[in-house]
């Protein structure tokens, strides 16, 4: 027997960050889709309740290159336009070096 109400939705902490996973190889064609996904998720979040942080899990990137750097930069711009910001998780040394090289090291 359960003490919870039957048929009710689980309780969710609205202040938890949004997690966006980026895996595989990012191509320039993927960037608009990633930004649209981020935009939809931020607009669906309760920004007034403090949901402004997006964690981009990039541990699954197989080939960090300038397309991945472009994706990170555009995701950061998209998040800022909507009142949020991104923070990267599981950043490998190659991506970290590229981000530092182009001046985006503070995103990590």
Strand 85-89 with 53-61, pairing: parallel
Comparing 89 with 14, which gets the higher pLDDT?
89
The reported pLDDT for the residue numbered 67 is: 95
The one-character DSSP state at 97 is H
pLDDT tens per residue, range 14-52: 567 889 999 999 999 999 999 999 999 888 876 556 677
The domain made up of 18-107 has a fold known as Transcription Regulator spoIIAA (3.30.750)
Task: Give the residue, 10 or 98, on which the prediction is more confident.
Answer: 98
- The domain spans of the chain are 18-107
The whole model's pTM is what? 0.79
User: Strands 53-61 and 18-24: what pairing?
Assistant: parallel
**Nearest-angstrom CA–CA distance, 24 and 42:** 23
How high is the pLDDT of residue 14?
52
């Amino acid at each position: 027997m359960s003490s919870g109400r039957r048929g009710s939705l689980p309780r969710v902490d609205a202040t938890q960050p949004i997690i966006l996973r980026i895996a595989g190889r990012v191509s320039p064609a993927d960037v608009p889709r990633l930004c649209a996904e981020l935009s939809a998720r931020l607009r669906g979040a309760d920004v007034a309740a403090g949901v402004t942080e997006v964690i981009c899990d990039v541990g699954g990137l197989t080939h960090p290159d300038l397309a991945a750097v472009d994706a990170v930069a555009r995701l950061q711009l998209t998040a800022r336009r909507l009142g949020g910001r991104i923070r990267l998780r599981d950043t490998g040394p190659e991506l970290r070096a590229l981000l530092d090289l182009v001046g985006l090291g503070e995103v990590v």
